[in-house]
Structure 1
């Protein structure tokens, strides 16, 4: 979790933090993925601890062009019972 400080002059109610009221100069933890939404408000929030770098997801990894492709096989159709 990232941390930000409220630098605004008045307390702020933050719905994302369960409706919690944050006091001026108070430091709070915010979800890493929402960090930018706070620090872009430069008159209100100040960055304290930035989000940690995360490992890229498998979908974000570069796959070499010569990498073998996995083949996908469809399931066999069930056999019909003859009555």
Structure 2
């Protein structure tokens, strides 16, 4: 999971984190796939730890051409 720091001036409730109240300057874990949704708000959130690329990319396979025997 990625981590972000809340840099806002007052505590906020974050529904995505289970209605948790986040305090100013608190670091929280967020789902990797939602990391960009937080750090795109630099006045509110700062990146602490970016998502890791632990998930291997799907393998690509070449399509086989079907051959007809004559």
TM-score, with structure 2 as normaliser: 0.82
Cα 1:69/1:14, change in 2 over 3 Å: same
Residue 69 of structure 1 is aligned with which of 37, 41, 64? Answer: 64
Richer in strand (by share) = 2
Cα 1:70/1:19, change in 2 over 3 Å: farther
Runs of 4+ in 1 over 4 A off after TM superposition: none
- 1:10-25 matches, cutoff 5 A: 10-25=10-25
User: Which residue of the partner structure matches residue 56 of structure 1?
Assistant: 57
Higher relative contact order (CA 8 A, sep 6+): 2
Structure 2 CA distance, aligned partners of 1:44 and 1:26? 11
User: Which residue of the partner structure matches residue 34 of structure 2?
Assistant: 34
TM-score, with structure 1 as normaliser: 0.70
Runs of at least 5 residues in structure 1 that lack an aligned partner in the other structure = 72-83
Q: Give the alignment's Cα RMSD to 1 decimal.
A: 1.9
Structure 2 CA distance, aligned partners of 1:28 and 1:2? 8
